[in-house]
Amino acid sequence: MTEPSGRRERKKAATRRKIADTALRLFLDRGFDAVGIRDVAAEADVAVTTVFSHFASKEALVFEQDADFERRLTQAVTGRAPDEPLLPALHREVRALVRHCTADSAAPVWRMIDASSALREYEESMRLRHAAALATALAADPALPQTTTACRALARFVIDAYAVAREATDPQTALDEIFRMIEAAWAVTCPAGKSGDPAGT
Partner DNA sequence: GACGGTAACCCTAACCGTTAGCTTTTCAAA
Partner DNA sequence: TTTGAAAAGCTAACGGTTAGGGTTACCGTC
Least distance between a second copy and beta carbon 193 (Å): 8
Rule CB under 7 A: is residue 6 a binding residue for DNA?
Answer: yes
DSSP, collapsed to helix, strand or coil, labels residue 43 as helix
State the Cα–Cα distance between residues 61 and 46, nearest whole angstrom: 15
As separate numbers, helices (DSSP H) first and strands (DSSP E) second, the chain gives 9, 0
Q: Which is nearer to DNA, 118 or 185 (CB)?
A: 118
State the Cα–Cα distance between residues 15 and 149, nearest whole angstrom: 43
Q: How many residues does the chain have?
A: 201
Residues 112-131 that bind a second copy (CB under 8 A): 121, 124-125, 128
Q: For the chain, what is the radius of gyration of the CA atoms?
A: 20
Least distance between a second copy and beta carbon 12 (Å): 27
Binds DNA (CB under 7 A): choice among 46, 77, 87, 135: 46
| Residue 50 interaction partner, one of a second copy, DNA, none, beta carbon < 5-8 Å per kind | DNA
**What x-and-dash track marks residues 8-37 binding DNA by CB under 7 A?**
xx-xx--xx------------------xxx
Q: How far, CA to CA in Å, does 146 sit from each of 34, 83, 102, 135?
A: 47, 17, 33, 11
Q: Which positions ≥6 away from 56 have C-beta within 8 Å? A: none
Q: Which is nearer to a second copy, 7 or 194 (CB)?
A: 194
What is the contact surface with DNA in residues (CB under 7 A)?
2, 5-9, 11-12, 15-16, 35-38, 45-50, 52-54, 56-59
